[in-house]
Structure 1
Amino acid sequence: MADIAFIAPYEDLAHIARQVSHELGLEVDVYVARVQDGAELARTLAKKNGCQVIVSRGVTAWLIQQAVDLPVVDVPIGGYDILRAYYQAKQFGGPIGIADVPDVIQGLESLEAILGETFIKYTLKDQQDDIRRGIMALKEAGAEVVIGKIAMAREARNFGLNSVIITSGKEAVIQALKEAERVLQVRRQEKRRAEQLKAILDFAYDGIIALDEEGRITVFNPVAEKLSGWRAEDAIGRPVTEVIPAAQCHILLKTGKPELGELLEIGSTRVVANRVPIIVDDRVVGVVTTFQNISSLQSLEHKVRRRLAGRGHVAKYSFNDILGESPELKEAVRLAREYAAVQSTVLIYGETGSGKEMFAHAIHLAGPRRDGPFVAVNCAALPENLLESELFGYAEGAFTGARKGGKPGLFELAHEGTIFLDEIGEMSPRLQARVLRVLEEGEIMRLGDDRIIPVNVRVIAATHRNLAQMVKEQAFREDLYYRINVLNLEIPPLRNRGSDVLLLAEHFLQEFCRQLQRPVVKLSPEATRELLQYRWPGNIRELRNCMERLALRCREKTVSAIDVRRALGLESAPEVENLSSGGDGKGLGTDLAGQVNILERSLILRVLAETGGNKAEAARRLGVSRTTLWRKLKGENKGA
């Protein structure tokens, strides 16, 4: 069944409709039926749910409009149609009368002026009950010939008058079918919007209620049903004060002011409500209110925080966050962008603090797995057994204190994303073997479990050590080395990046001054020379820490060379100078143990600052175990 139906009151009009629809390339079903038969046919077409627009003419069109809830396009009577009927009527002689609707009668004035003849006219108030009265009025006014539609012409013959039917020509049918096509397109668009709105309302997580200007409910979605206990069919049409009195939606009909984030109780459920007025031409014509279950919001927020931000399973840095203009850095960024486009394993070399993790973040965000998780783990920060359970997870009861239900490992959490294994050179040989299996087989097994879990992850590894040398010394597995060293990327140390030191220093200095809400300080020429001459063993991390100290300690508008040296620990701090000069005269100058402890503490704190607080790296540099470092720090706190 075509979307457009043409119900013609007579066969000639149907013939023209078929011809025109073919010429316009429109799919139109054409029928012949008039008045009540046409209306009954229209009802049948509407029930079949295929017809969308009906085209008809005259009284038949008017009756169809009363019979169906579909748009009806009336074939217009044009000037050519009336002119044709006029010349036929002139053959009968005598005055010519016409009875029709206001649109047709009003359009006769210009035709009368052209013809130099005045018609006897009668304006019908409707197209059915008034026809007989109209013909009688024309006869009494002296009309001998009546031109009009089929019903008017037939009634004129009943009164003994000659009559000519005004037929619709091709031009009128073209106009009607084009209008029907336009109406069909609008109807389709409205139907699409209605279906979209219905889908939004039905599947939204929020309860949604809409009111008209009288405060009666016009929209009541399934979530609103669940929250209120009312069915939509019972709620729609009722005043909102009867259905959900606590919602207070109707108040906005008077105030016209939005109310957001209001806490309400609907039944036994606490919700957050947002109420917004619908304003048309500066008049409030309705209200839309949305409700969200507070417990659901809290649960969702907790889930998002726990699974993303809380666990750090999102990449935070893109290539735009990597600052620097040196050729060495630009080459590293260029290579990293190339590596991001593929999914091969990447091994990143670089000194401590040079920015290896930032590159890993950027590679992930620029690659095809950007929408997946990014999981980072420092292999040097955890003991072997703890690192194993973190990487591979464990089953319930795997060991004393194991979480009920077990725990997924980081490889599982990185599924369809990227896992970043920082300081992989510190991993024990036993764990290296397990990681190799993941890379080769794409599967893991939790501790204490016998179930194989497939995983699809991209591995980015990083190290500050010479893995090739470690392989020769049998300190790192050769097979794992070649498996992770598919693509390699070397991050240049800060001392090789020239003026990037100053660019980064200014950036960090401004950042920390803003955080501390202090005026931004500037670097003096002498300070910049100090920064450029320093070797930066801790690289960007050390530079960042230095700038934080300067932002915190500097009281002048300009940073001097001595400020930089003190921030780097190259100048004696005041307390150390006091020690060397005897201090306050309490015997510290002769207390060798006291001086050693203070100097040792100063050295530990400086190395910790250079490593960004990384105790494992600080212990390595100082040549002591992490336990010894921890004991000395603990002893320092006791003495504080």
Structure 2
Amino acid sequence: MDRNSNSQISMIWTNPIAYELSKRLVEERQLDCRVILAELLEVEEVAASEVNRGAKIIISRGGVWNRIQKKVAIPMVAVRFAFSDFASAIEEASRYGEQIAMIVFSEVMLESAKKEYYYWKVKTVVIQVADIKEAREEIASLKKKGISAIVGGVTIRKLAAEKGIPCVLFGCNEDVVLEAIYDAQRLLKLLLAQEVRYRTISMLLDNSSEGMMTLDKGGVITNMNKVALKILGGGLREEDVLGRECVELFPFPAIIAGTMQGKRFYNYLVTYGNHYLAVSSLPIVADNIIKGIIINIQDSDDIQAVENKIRRHSATKGYTAKYTLQNIIGKSGGIVKAKHQAMMYAGVDSTVMICGDSGTGKELFAQSIHNASSRRNQPFVAVNCAAFPESLLESELFGYEKGAFTGASPSGKAGIFEMAHKGTIFLDEIGEMAVTLQSRLLRVIQEREIVRLGGSSVIPVDVRIISATNKNLLEEMKKGNFRKDLYYRLSVLTLQLPLLEERQEDIVPLALQFARTFGDNHGREITGIAPGAQALLKAHRYFGNIRELSNIIERAAIFATDTEISEEDVKMALFGTSFSETVCLENTDAAKCTAAGSGTADGGGRVNREKERIKAALHETDGNCTKAAELLHISRTTLWRKMKKYMIKEEAQ
């Protein structure tokens, strides 16, 4: 078997002298090159066979090189003609006489012969012919002129033999043969490196999540990856599009024309069939001349899928709803009704407004509705509208572009409406939102789109809105503090949560759950609550609702020295502060003090007692609202609201 049968370099000769010389050099020097001898009329077929076998470079000379290079698409290396190739043949031909002619097919051979012409010992006529027919005519003409001998290749020798004219084959210099082989080896190394780069680029293109195509300067498609073919659809194959003008197939004429003028396009929206494509493009420039275009294509559905993936990833960083309806403890009529309504609301996508005092579990219900809905696998984003100044709340809700305001992030920021896309946004204490922001929120609900601060691009959003309030929004509307149109947009469905004092039978189960949770979190085992402690918990008036109960149980659990919370532990949790004593001292007798925590007084009595407790807390803390709120087991925001309600703000100063 030929040692070089798998070589990627093939050398094809019709000249037996050159063939034998080349074969000997390859064998002696163990060069990676396959040497082949063929008939002139067969060289194209032989070359095609070598390409099919795996040859990447072909070496040849003269007329053979001419014939092959027109038929194959791989690089070719020409064996150049040396002075000795001509001189040795002419010297041998001169033995037949002084009238010698040289016949060549190749322009390269003609030019080489002209360069050496003046150095030949015997003046020779050099003739170039286009084909065998013309060569036969020239040889016939030379015979009539009495030519002595002809110098040429194998084909010329055969034609000369037909006319009885001696013909000497061109010689072959071993240095130029070796030079050609070495040139081919260097070229092969470059080709293989280029193939690796090309395969790498092809793999990058075909494994890209985006469609990509390239056009030449005439707008003809030169490359297109599989993703682009898939996005553009219609069962297109690569062979269907390559070599065709892009505008014949796809609606990008404005982009192509603009890019050919040096413009760049980024996420230019194009209607394609029944959906949108985001098309980007940039010119391919070499030597300050535009040579073509690179076009990037994304399907709007794919973009949305990526956005959803990002948003789901963001959800793992905190934008999740932890609670479900199963986490809501209670068997009282009010809470059972609220849970039933919440489950019904979860089955639809309408806005929900949750009403209830502070600490009644509004966010717990909001999370539960989200987790029972079809949006459960999407983000749940909560924001307290009372926790931010108006300007900051606006940027939190709608986001901002870079440089939108002093101190803005240089890269801009997505707002919570964007982060909640496909999920749920919970707007707590919606009644505290400024009227100017209410207008923007109303537009978002109506149009389902937002514009970032400092931006101009419209961003579609798909969110379900659940809001919550502890205010009487009907009263706020009368005062002009809340927009009527926004109220009716937000309150398509309403959910009223009961006060804890209306859920007497739920107090102990809730307390037990809080006790166990505290024990688990702090490595303590708390298994129950003593009957006397339960009675105290039931008798207490919870102005802070469930949040207050949770705080009381946490304090009691800290005081507990056993696995059961005792009556003394609860007393310490309830009355272990001078504030509690102050409240009792302000009542004229023990009966009034007991009534203050019994939960049996009428609504007016409750208002008076709440007002007195707030005044007492402020007195106890020298008007420090933060400390007073802690004593009352309510948030500072709720304290401010109640102070305004009872008009005791001046006393806090």
Q: TM-score, normalised by structure 2?
A: 0.48
Max radius of gyration: which structure? 2
